[in-house]
Chain A
Amino acid sequence: MFTPEELTTIALSVRVAALASLGALPLAVAVGWLLARRRFPGKALLDALVHLPLVLPPVVVGYALLAAFGSQGPAGRFLGQFGIELAFRWTGAALAAGIMGFPLMVRTIRLSIENVDRRLEQAAATLGASPWRRFFTITLPLAWPGLVAGAVLGFAKALGEFGATITFVSAIPGETRTLSSAIYGLMQVPGGEAAIWRLAAVAIAISLFALLASEWLVRRQRGPEDEP
């Protein structure tokens, strides 16, 4: 049904999107918690910076990544010392996709943490729980559905990322040519319609599966609390 090339593209896209969303998740949780629970000077600035990838042209984000992580860039040279190269590698595609999905993840996670009743956290504190213990035993378990939803949103966004990815890591078959850039490339070629539809169908199916899986996970988390 799929050519070996198409299967490679699909596997690569899933791998990139998974690394992007899972890699961004801890930072998204930390930032989401900060914005939800803390007041500090510069909070509005942090909020704006987090949302920047949402409003900037994706190509600009990609170019900024190239300038920073390219072999001549400051971050690129620093990582190069450890043998880590991101430009034109699938890990670079994951970085680009992760950054583009980050604002959506933070928004979702922040909202779900804000929805955790602070009075429960207060009660936990009076019972001797330190701030870290309160976070891991009260806030996190109660915000869990939102965290999953955030990760899924990040995954879906990463799967479809195009502008930043193609600018930063180009569209190298087998390495950085994910679903979107593959479809784009096929549009330049006559007779590519069938292949395009196959890839598009996969994109839709994966996204749908991710959404349904997260819905099921959320319901399963809530389930035991509703049982008599």
Chain B
Amino acid sequence: MLLTPSILKIDQEETKQRITGFIKDYVAKTKTKGIVLGMSGGVDSSTNAALAALSIGGNKVHGLLMFEKETRNKLDIDHALQVAKQFKIRAVFIDITNLLNAIYKSIPDFIESDFKAKGNIKARARMLLLYYYANSKNLIVSASSDKSETMIGYYTKHGDMAADIAPQQDLYKTQVRQLAKHISVPDAIIEKPSTPALWPDQTAEQEIGMPYEKLDLILYGLEHFMETPQIAEQLLVPIKMVESIKKHWLETEHKRRIPLSPKLGFRTVGRDFRLPYDAEVE
């Protein structure tokens, strides 16, 4: 297998149809009134919002713009509002600064300088608000995670991945960008650097240490059972770089599963207790 950029090329229309069909079907099966999702102005959340609107109509999609003082960026707000307008999504602006300050103040051992622990609070606070809307308006929460970030665990546990569905989770970031273009998400959003917005000036590619074009090919190789030396050789990158990505992938499995428990009973939840998602009971 040759790891060239063309290997990540998707059939954009087919992918759009699969995802919108999936969303529509799930909303119908769960008998909910629509979808609530976060809108950061980035490519993932904009694509997620656009796909939701294309599936069930923008008037049934509630887009929460949950900005806060430390990471607020006018361009991101403008982009989120632009997507909401373009896809006729119900935009709700919530300044979460006071909420976050209240949480920080309530923690006896809060350490201001621990930017990671503090940053994760932001993602979890957003989750809390999304689920408030979901519960009070009978909506499902749609996560905007992509396959690149899901595989390397580049997200907050019980934060931005806490959702009912993740429609684009099987698409690498570069594939999300292809799909975004196909469904007319504005180019300025597709082309700007991604950021989780957990602290000021944070960018995903800087933290990950390589562009998504490279990361996605490494992950594609790992997905297809390629050995790390083979991937490194093909992509002309140091083997340590590939091994580091593989390490992130393997070490973050705990984020992708339900909590681990010892096997004690006859059938154990999360292991050998397997039930269908959408089973009808007669």
Do A and B share a complex?
A: no
Residues in chain A within 8 A of chain B (CB atoms):
none
Chain B residues in the interface with A (C-beta under 8 A): none
